[in-house]
Copies of this chain bind each other. A is one copy, B any other.
Amino acid sequence: MNPTIRDVAKLANVSISTVSRVFNNPESVNREMRERVLQVIEELGYAPNPFASGLRDNRSMAIVAMIPDLRNPYYAEMLSGIEEVALAHRYNVIICNQIQDPDRYLEYVKYFVKKKVDGLIFASTEVTDFYHDSFQTLNMPVVLASTEGSSWNLPSVRVNDVQASYDATTFLIQNGHRHIGFISGPAHAMITGQQRYEGFRAAMSDHQVPLSDQNVVYGELSFDAGYEAMKRLYAKFPQLTAVYAASDAMAIGAMKFLDQQGLEVPRHVSVMGFDNLDLARMVTPGLTTVAQHITDIGKTAGDLLFHLIDNRDADVQSVTINHEIIVRGSVRNRRLMED
């Protein structure tokens, strides 16, 4: 059995209140006594029982990170940012994975999150009524990461996807491409479908590049879906000289397909991604992409959450994280073309 506050008190010849004060308000206790107590604490290896503190204060010193898929490096990286700031606050991070499965999500909420946790980071998943209702009943601070909840006034941390997508498209255009295919996220997905499409569309339009249904194809954000999407895109738009995909995984799936068709990247087709996963620099050629600074998104979401935890009624503003074009080898400048 671990030592309790009482053991410390007895051995130090003080009351338990004094021991407690040494932890929670050291200034208020006589120097000499304090040192004696501290010594005994050290000696016994005493640490307050977190259940007891939690029971009294209703704080768990834990937050929960809800993400769609741990095996996706995007979320792993975000999680690592969240974990980083949590550690600094001496908080634990509890993982909830595959939250896009409603049953699984409810399971988490029912057994884990209820009252046991001081706050919640909810990542990359559209905040439907379903999720929003559960936030209400949970009654704890919530911060969104890489998704938005403006309709419910929930603070969020994310890049400006419209602008980022606009910039990516513009980069391709400035490199002399005019036949640009877009592999979008699912049509119904607010961010990876609609907003990134919107940025693409706006850039094409602003630069007077023709755009029709022919240019666009939709799919899930995965490698496999990217491969399939590229197949469809190439079938209906074979004259494309560049492809821009709504995620790096998709872009790399597209590269795989192109390679299998004997089309070289970037000699025959240029490819641009979105996210800047570690992966992007590992493939050959390196993938030119829009960096999201994912770790920062996680860290910032953590910062906001802890601010809300310390200060329940704070009016926390959403934060936009800067994006950045990372140039590697997968896009060719057609303005410098020789053959």
Contact = CB atoms under 8 A, between A and B. Distances in A.
B71 A115 contact: no
Contacts of A92: 94-95, 112, 116
Copies of this protein, total: 2
Most buried by B among A62, A84, A104, A249: A62
Contact of A284 (B58, B115, B137, B256): B256
A76 B70 contact: yes
Nearest to A82: B95
A83 to B, nearest CB: 5
A69 to B, nearest CB: 8
A93 B94 contact: yes
B73 A79 contact: no
Interface string A73-110: 10011011001100100101111010000001001101
Interface string A23-64: 000000000000000000000010101111011001010100
B255 A116 contact: no
B279 A116 contact: no
A11 interface: no
A214 B69 CA distance: 43
A283 interface: yes
Say which size band chain A's interface belongs to.
35 or more
Given A73-B71, A97-B80, A49 B115 contact: yes
A268 interface: no
Contacts of A107: 87
Contacts of A77: 70-71
Most buried by B among A51, A69, A108, A278: A51
A79 B70 contact: yes
A93 B112 CA distance: 10
A58 B4 CA distance: 13
Interface string A122-140: 0000000000000001000
Contacts of A284: 255-256, 259, 283-284
22 contacts: A47-B115, A49-B55, A50-B115, A51-B51, A51-B52, A51-B55, A51-B116, A52-B55, A70-B76, A71-B73, A73-B73, A80-B97, A84-B97, A87-B97, A87-B104, A92-B95, A95-B95, A223-B278, A253-B282, A256-B282, A282-B283, A284-B284
Interface of A: 2, 45, 47, 49-52, 54-55, 58, 60, 62, 69-71, 73, 76-77, 79-80, 83-84, 87, 90, 92-95, 97, 104, 107-108, 110-112, 114-116, 137, 223, 249, 252-253, 255-256, 259, 278-279, 281-284
Given A71-B76, A92-B116, 15 more contacts: A49-B115, A54-B54, A69-B80, A71-B73, A87-B108, A92-B112, A93-B94, A223-B278, A249-B282, A252-B282, A253-B282, A255-B284, A279-B279, A279-B282, A283-B283
